[in-house]
């Protein structure tokens, strides 16, 4: 074999070795690329699955929250309607009480005694040497009749003298009229000091509201057998009315 032939065989072997190494390298690259692709694919699938799970959980929680809110709103609306119905019922009873109260003056002897007691009570509360008394115009005659007895009782209890001036230039509102929304007064008196700094309201309407405020828990127990319709409930109803 000539030297030329030997050289050509060596070159062919070298080429074959290079091709073989290249094919092995390509195969390794393909295997590695496939592995990295599968790993990346797994990672993407895992991340996407976690994202979907989180989104599903978020939406599930949101639905639960919205459901609880809707249920709470329904309960609150039902409670408010119940409160409003009970509030209207109590107000109706209060209006009836006002009506019956305004009828007291028709029994002159009974009302006359009430006026005397109201004036005496006001004087004892004021404990002032001079008082200005305000009444309804229709009560002026009765007030003047009972005033001496009230002053006498005041002096008897306190050993003090009080000068009472009946105001005839400005009267309390007249008795309530059915269907009228004008200011009214069911009876009684308002006492003021000469300088106007101290006032004692002792009208029948005021006394009724004092009794109403004090007896409201008992009223609701008698009417509804529960603890609903306290002052906070009344405030809630009024706020709701303003919103509407």
**The predicted structure's pLDDT at residue 226:** 57
pLDDT tens for the chain, 244 residues: list them. 567 777 777 777 787 777 777 878 878 888 888 888 888 888 888 889 999 999 999 999 999 999 999 999 989 888 888 888 888 888 888 888 888 888 888 888 999 999 999 999 999 999 999 999 999 999 999 999 999 999 999 999 999 999 999 999 999 999 988 777 889 999 999 999 988 899 999 999 999 999 888 888 887 787 777 554 455 555 554 545 555 4
Contacts (Cβ under 8 Å, ≥6 apart) of 21: none
Residue 198 near residue 126 (C-beta atoms within 8 A): yes
CA–CA gap between residue 225 and residue 81 (Å, rounded): 18
Q: What is the DSSP string of 72-124?
A: HHHHHHHHHHHHHHHHHHHHHHHHHHHHHHHTGGGSHHHHHHHHHHHHHHHHH
Domain architecture of the chain: domains with CATH? 107-212 (3.30.2320.30)
- Secondary structure element (H or E) that encloses residue 155, with its range: helix 140-158
- Residue 206: which of 134, 112, 110 has the closest Cα? 134
């Amino acid at each position: 074999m000539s030297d030329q032939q030997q050289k050509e065989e060596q070159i062919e072997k070298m080429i074959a070795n290079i091709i073989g190494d290249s094919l092995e390298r390509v195969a390794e690259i393909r295997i590695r690329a496939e592995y990295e692709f599968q790993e990346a694919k797994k990672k993407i699938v895992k991340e996407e699955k976690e994202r979907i799970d989180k989104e599903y959980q978020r939406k599930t929680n949101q639905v639960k929250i919205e459901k609880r809110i809707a249920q709470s709103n329904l309960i609150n609306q039902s409670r408010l309607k119940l409160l409003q119905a009970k509030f209207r019922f109590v107000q109706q009873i209060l209006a009836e009480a006002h009506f019956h109260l305004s009828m007291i003056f028709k029994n002159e002897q009974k009302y006359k005694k009430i006026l005397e007691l109201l004036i005496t009570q006001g004087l004892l509360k004021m404990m002032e040497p001079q008082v200005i008394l305000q009444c309804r115009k229709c009560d002026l005659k009765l007030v003047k009749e009972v005033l001496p007895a009230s002053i006498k009782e005041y002096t008897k209890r306190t050993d003090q003298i009080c000068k009472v001036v009946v105001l005839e230039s400005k009267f309390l509102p007249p008795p309530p009229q059915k269907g009228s929304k004008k200011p009214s007064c069911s009876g009684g008196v308002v006492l003021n000091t000469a300088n106007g700094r101290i006032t004692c309201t002792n009208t029948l309407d005021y006394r009724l509201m004092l009794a109403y405020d004090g007896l409201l828990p008992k009223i609701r127990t008698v009417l509804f057998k529960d603890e609903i319709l306290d002052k906070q409930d009344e405030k809630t109803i009024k706020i709701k009315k303003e919103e509407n």
